Structure 1
Amino acid sequence: MSEREVEKAYLSIFALLILEVCKGFAFVGSQHHIEVGGQDLFSGSSDDFR
């Protein structure tokens, strides 16, 4: 199983749990693009801010 497949499975279960438990929760996405000093980073990736 690839890292991306594991992430998708985890996020699917996590989103269902949060939607069931937390009223008013909105799941927007799992990774967001951030550019720092000309370097592309994505929140949620294993290489964040090293």
Structure 2
Amino acid sequence: VADAYREAQRDGRDPVLAVMTVTGRNRRRSLRLIAGARDEGLLTPRHHKR
């Protein structure tokens, strides 16, 4: 999930759509998988902490 997300981001494509394609899951499930990858430290946080 993290690899697909980062690769799509680097290529200027929609990262969520890339995760959906790789996993075969719907948008909602893909967002949960992405959130899980963030929680595990595999992706950067969505928002910068203030």
TM-score, length basis structure 1? 0.32
Question: Higher RCO, 1 or 2 (CA under 8 Å, sep at least 6)?
Answer: 2
Larger helix proportion, structure 1 or 2?
Answer: 2
Larger strand proportion, structure 1 or 2?
Answer: 1
For the pair shown, which has the larger CA radius of gyration, 1 or 2?
1
